[in-house]
Amino acid sequence: MDSDDSMPPRERTGPLRKVDPDRWVDEHGDYLYRYALVRVRTPEVAQDLVQDTFLGAIRGLDKFAGRSSERSWLFSILKNKIIDHYRALGREITFTDLEFCKGEYAEKFVPEGDWVHVDGPKKWKPEVEEVVHRNEFWQTMRGCLAGLPQRVAEVFMLREMEEVSSKEICSKLSITERNLWVMLHRARMTLRECLEMNWFTDKPGKK
Amino acid sequence: MPAPPIPNLPNPRADHDDSFFQGKNWLSASINRLIDAITPKCRENTRILSQGMDAPLPLLIRLRLRMHFLMCCYCKRYAAQLRYIRKASRAFPQYCGNVVTATLPDAVKERMKTLLRREAGER
C-alpha cells in the first residue's frame, strides 16, 4: 500500500534476523495501533489486533524475506488481521445494515428521477490533493464514517481504503454481491452528503 | 395555505455550470430531449456510478453515461465526487496519524513485550 512508503524505512538486518519484540513494540506499536483504531471502534480490539500482528510476525518471520520494509510487512499482517476480525465477528448482515439509508436520498430527486436542481451535488473545492493536508478534513471524514452502521463502514473501508476487490469482500464476509453493492452505494451516497454538508459548504466559522 | 410545489423545470442553471451545452441553448434544447430520452435517469445513474467503482461497466452503459454528462453537471459531479471520496479514503491511512494521536498505553506495551518475548523464546 502506498501509505507505507511514506513511513521511515527500516533497514533489514540480514536474512537470519533476531527477533527483538521490545524494539518492535516501541518502534511500530503506536503506528499500528492508530491504523487499527481507524478501522475498529474500540481501543481494546485495536490493541488485540496489534498484539496478534506481532505474534503473527514472530511466527511468520521465515516468510519475511526483507523485500519490503519491516513496517510495511507488519502493516500487511495487520490488514489481514483486520479482515479476519471482521469475518470472525460472524455477524449476519443485520436488518439495520440493509435498512440503512433505504430511501437513498429520494428527496434529492424529482419523481421523474432528475436531481432537484437547487439541491444537486455542488462543486467540490479544493481538490483532493490539497485537502489531504488539512487535519480538519480528516476529522470531518472520521465523523462521517462514524455515522455509518459498523458493518456498512467495514465494507466501505475494505473496499475504498484497503482496496480489497468486491469479489473478495463477498467471499470473506459471506455476503452476496447484490447486498454489497447496495451497501456500498448507500455508504458512498451518505458520505458524499455528509462531506458536502460539513466540509464543502461554506459555513460561517469554517475557514 | 400550503406552499405551491417548486417546479423543477424549466431547467435553472446551476452555479458554475461547466457542462458542454452551457450557453448553447438552441442546440441543447433539442439534443437535451434526445439524450434525456435515451439515457438513464439521474437517480438510476447514482447506482450505476457506484457499481462502476467496483466493476467495469458495459460499454453501452458507459457511452450513455458520457452522453448524460453532456447535459447534466450534477451527475458529472457525482461521478467525480465518488472518485474524490476514493482518493481521499486511500490517502486516509497515510494521514490519519495527524488526527488519530492515540498511543498504546504503557501497560499494554509491557504486556505485549512479555508475551512476545515468551513467543520468540519458544521459536
**A60 pLDDT higher than 80:** yes
Q: What angle do CA A116, A121, A127 make, to 5 degrees?
A: 170
Between the two ends of chain B, the Cα-to-Cα distance in Å is 81
Q: Which residue has the higher pLDDT, B69 or B14?
A: B69
Which residue from B minimizes the CA distance to A161? B90
- State the best of A82, A114, A127 to mutate against chain B, taking most chain B CBs within 10 Å: A114
Which residue from B minimizes the CA distance to A60? B123
Per-residue CA distances from A100 to A93, A153, A187, B14, B26 (Å): 11, 11, 9, 30, 43
pLDDT in tens, B5-63: 655 555 566 777 777 767 777 776 788 788 888 889 999 999 999 999 999 999 999 99
Which residue from A minimizes the CA distance to B118? A21
B80/A139 touch (CB, cutoff 8 Å), yes or no: no
- Give the highest mean pLDDT range of A18-27, A174-183, A197-206: A174-183
Say what the ipTM of the complex is.
0.81
List alpha helices for chain A, DSSP H: 2-6, 21-39, 43-59, 70-88, 95-99, 128-131, 135-146, 150-160, 166-173, 177-195
How much is the mean pLDDT over chain A? 83
Smallest CA-to-CA distance from B84 within A98, A104, A199, A75 is with A199
pLDDT band at residue B4 under the 50/70/90 scheme: low
B74/A157 touch (CB, cutoff 8 Å), yes or no: no
Which residue from B41, B51, B101 is facing A112, i.e. has the nearest CB?
B41
